[in-house]
Each structure stands twice: as structure tokens, then as C-alpha cells.
């Protein structure tokens, strides 16, 4: 069985969702957007392949709550936290909880893409992610860029 690597964007700001979806889709990535952490959690399975780009501060459940829920489910998807209100103590706290990377808004597209590439590498090398399709166009493009 195989699956394709999908970038999940979780943010309650529709403009951020649209901008990131456009940026990543233009680069050829499979992207799914979610307006809340709860909606995202309702749509994924434990063994889904991909990466999560999530806003730290959202109503109901923020980035840390989302990370805790993913860890509780045994998900191996790397989580990249984005926030306009980041500081060093927050970044340290998120890293201790297993966040792959922290990025500050306004986002730099190059930094986001570099973080996603690194997250992909980490995910593809994890034991539960070895099912990623070797014929995935995204994977082929990633390998060609290396």
C-alpha cells in the first residue's frame, strides 16, 4: 500500500489558507486546507503521509493542542508552526513538544518551502512513512531537486 505526501494547512484565516494553497500548489504540491484544528483532525487517519503547517493561535484548538492530538493518535506527520506572535520561549516549548519547525509571519515563501522539504525528508525516513508512493510526482520532483 502507498500514499502520496500531502501538505495540510491549518489556519482560521481564509486569506492565509488561500495564499499558502496557491504558493504550494503552484510549486506542484498536493495541498489540503483546513479552517480549524478540529476539522483537520476529523479528516485525517493515523497513517496519513504528509506535513502539517498550522497556526499557533486559533480559536478552540491552537497549534499546541493540535500537536498533542496528533501525538496522542500516533501520527508521524511533521508539524510546522506558524505565528505572528512568536518568541524564543514559545519556540523552545514547541520544539520540546515535537514541533518540526517554527516560522514567523509574515511568511517568507522560500523559508516555508525549505522547511517543508526538510519535513518531507524527515517523514519519508520515518518507519511509518515508508509507504509514500515511489511514483508520486511530488516525490520525483523532490528527488530531482536534490
pLDDT of amino acid 131: 52
**Over the stretch 68-84, which tens digit does the pLDDT of each residue have?**
999 898 888 899 999 88
Count of beta carbons in the 10 Å neighbourhood of residue 62 = 18
CA distance 74 to 46: 6
The verdict on domain 6-145 having CATH code 3.40.50.300 is: no
Confidence class for position 129, pLDDT limits 50, 70, 90: very low
β-pair partners for 7 = 31, 51
- What is the value of pTM for the model shown? 0.82
Amino acid at each position: 500500500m502507498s500514499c502520496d505526501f500531502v501538505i495540510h494547512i491549518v489556519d482560521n484565516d481564509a486569506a492565509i489558507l488561500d495564499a499558502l494553497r496557491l504558493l504550494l500548489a503552484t510549486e506542484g504540491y498536493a495541498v489540503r486546507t483546513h479552517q480549524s484544528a478540529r476539522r483537520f483532525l476529523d479528516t485525517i487517519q493515523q497513517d496519513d503521509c504528509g506535513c502539517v503547517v498550522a497556526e499557533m493561535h486559533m480559536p478552540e484548538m491552537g497549534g499546541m493542542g493540535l500537536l498533542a492530538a496528533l501525538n496522542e493518535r500516533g501520527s508521524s506527520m511533521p508539524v510546522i508552526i506558524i505565528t505572528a506572535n512568536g518568541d524564543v520561549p514559545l519556540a523552545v516549548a514547541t520544539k520540546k513538544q515535537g514541533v518540526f519547525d517554527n516560522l514567523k509571519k509574515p511568511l517568507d515563501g522560500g523559508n516555508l518551502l525549505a522547511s517543508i522539504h526538510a519535513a518531507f525528508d524527515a517523514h519519508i525516513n520515518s518507519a511509518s512513512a515508508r509507504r509514500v508512493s515511489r511514483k508520486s510526482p511530488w516525490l520525483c520532483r523532490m528527488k530531482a531537486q536534490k
